[in-house]
Amino acid sequence: MTTFDFAPLWRSTVGFDRVFDLLEDSVQWTGDNYPPYNIERADQDHYQISLALAGFAPHEITITAEQNVLTVEGRKADKGDHQYLYQGISVRPFRHQFNLAEYVQVKRASFEDGMLKIELVRELPEAMKPRQIPIQAGNDNQKLVNQQTA
């Protein structure tokens, strides 16, 4: 396994700690792929995470969003002893975390036909959105400068 030391980069950056933490976490991640999932982008600001959760009921699944991390957990309720001749459907407990970008919010979640769908949207604050700056003619600029110096 290859490891990367990001410490030298920290000396010349301010406010990028979270980015480096995400990079380190992605390199060190050794989890399994259960349950299988898809991440889809509908457009520039709308996303959907779909998890295949056959055998689970909605009340056995919890979804938590906290500080740019979305956590999906599932634990199957024990229904007693079963004598399986063959058990191919996995219903083991799971916990999966998704790192969300800034301003990405969970809008809703739905569960149908064994598929959990979580809809996400990126909502930039008005101060962060691009805006047009009007350009004034030459004499208008001189008046503004003279008013400020007076």
Average pLDDT, stretch 86-103? 86
Domain that holds residue 96: 34-126
| pLDDT band with cut points at 50, 70 and 90 for residue 130 | confident
pLDDT of amino acid 147: 61
Full 3-state SS string of 102-118: CCEEEEEEEEECCEEEE
Rounded to whole angstroms, the Cα distance separating 65 from 138 reads 52
Residue 57 belongs to a domain: yes
Q: pLDDT, tens digit, for every residue of 21-40?
A: 666 665 555 567 889 999 99
Rounded to whole angstroms, the Cα distance separating 16 from 9 reads 10
Task: Examine the domain organization and report whether 4 and 78 are in the same domain.
Answer: no
Residue 85 near residue 104, CB atoms below 8 Å: no
Task: Examine the domain organization and report whether 55 and 74 are in the same domain.
Answer: yes
Residue 142 belongs to a domain: no
Task: Examine the domain organization and report whether 72 and 9 are in the same domain.
Answer: no
Q: pLDDT, tens digit, for every residue of 62-91?
A: 999 998 899 999 998 877 677 888 888 777
* pTM for the full predicted model: 0.66
Residue 119 belongs to a domain: yes
| pLDDT band with cut points at 50, 70 and 90 for residue 94 | very high
Q: For residue 57, what is the domain's CATH number? A: 2.60.40.790
Task: Examine the domain organization and report whether 47 and 71 are in the same domain.
Answer: yes
Task: Examine the domain organization and report whether 52 and 111 are in the same domain.
Answer: yes
pLDDT: is 139 or 10 the higher one? 139
Residue 132 belongs to a domain: no
